[in-house]
Amino acid sequence: MTNHEAHPEAALPIETPPARRLNLTRHVVLVGLMGAGKSAVGRRMAAVLHAPFIDADDAIVEAAGMSVPDIFASHGEAEFRALERRVIARLLAGPPHVLALGGGAFVDPLTRERVRASGFSVWLRADLDTLVARTARKKGSRPLLDAGDPRTILAELMERRHPVYAEAAMVVDSGDQPVDRLVHELIGRLAEAGVLA
Ligand code: S3P
């Protein structure tokens, strides 16, 4: 006797109810330090939700027609911040999407205010070792970390920026857990908070 004869239902396709599609009711805005995983988590979460994903740094690069290190080198950080503020304002005026901000963007009071008005901010919090390890993989792409010892710089930024990131609507620890597990947790919490419906 084959297995199917003993268990006829085993031959049938498994009936799963169609998953209910969760839609974004506003932008989900990921904030946190360089290396916290904002882009990786945002991209994955958007794919799972079939929602658009935008990386603010990519939009800045597109608007400027040059890389982030080149903007810093040719125009300075102040110009980068001004462009960053304008580009994020434009993105926030568009339809809801998952938006990963560069690490310094949420520190700007006007950007914070705009995020509060049209989005739901999530701080991806990671410890120093994680940030150092992750940023080391993409050397040369983050001008702030080229100015000295990355660990010392990240530790200083943590001290200065963590109180500001703490103003985010939600905090998620982005330690060593795989991106998929973090995204799963995040989606559950966002649904509970009514950001996904
Ligand atoms: C910055 C973070 C970078 C980028 C720029 C400045 C910052 O983005 O916007 O290099 O001030 O923390 P990521 O956080 O995506 O690396």
Mean pLDDT of 29-38: 97
Confidence of residue 19 (pLDDT cuts 50, 70, 90): low
Ligand 1 neighbour 41 (Cβ under 6 A): no
Query: How many whole angstroms from 147 Cα to the centroid of ligand 1?
Result: 14
Ligand 1 neighbour 104 (Cβ under 6 A): yes
Ligand 1 neighbour 108 (Cβ under 6 A): no
Confidence of residue 8 (pLDDT cuts 50, 70, 90): low
Confidence of residue 167 (pLDDT cuts 50, 70, 90): very high
- 37 near 136, Cβ under 8 Å? no
Ligand 1, pocket-test mutation among 31, 33, 34, 72, most atoms within 8 A of CB: 34
Ligand 1 neighbour 102 (Cβ under 6 A): yes
Measure CA 176 to chain center. Answer: 16
pLDDT at 173: 94
- 133 near 12, Cβ under 8 Å? no
Confidence of residue 128 (pLDDT cuts 50, 70, 90): very high
CA distance 151 to 133: 9
pLDDT at 82: 98
Q: Which atom of ligand 1 is closest in space to residue 69's alpha carbon?
A: 10
Give the residue whose CA is nearest to atom 15 of ligand 1: 102
Confidence of residue 12 (pLDDT cuts 50, 70, 90): low
Enumerate residues 6+ apart whose C-beta is below 8 A from 43: 53, 55, 98, 100
Residue 139, CA distances (Å) to 11, 71, 72 in order: 53, 17, 15
pLDDT at 189: 96
Give the residue whose CA is nearest to atom 12 of ligand 1: 103
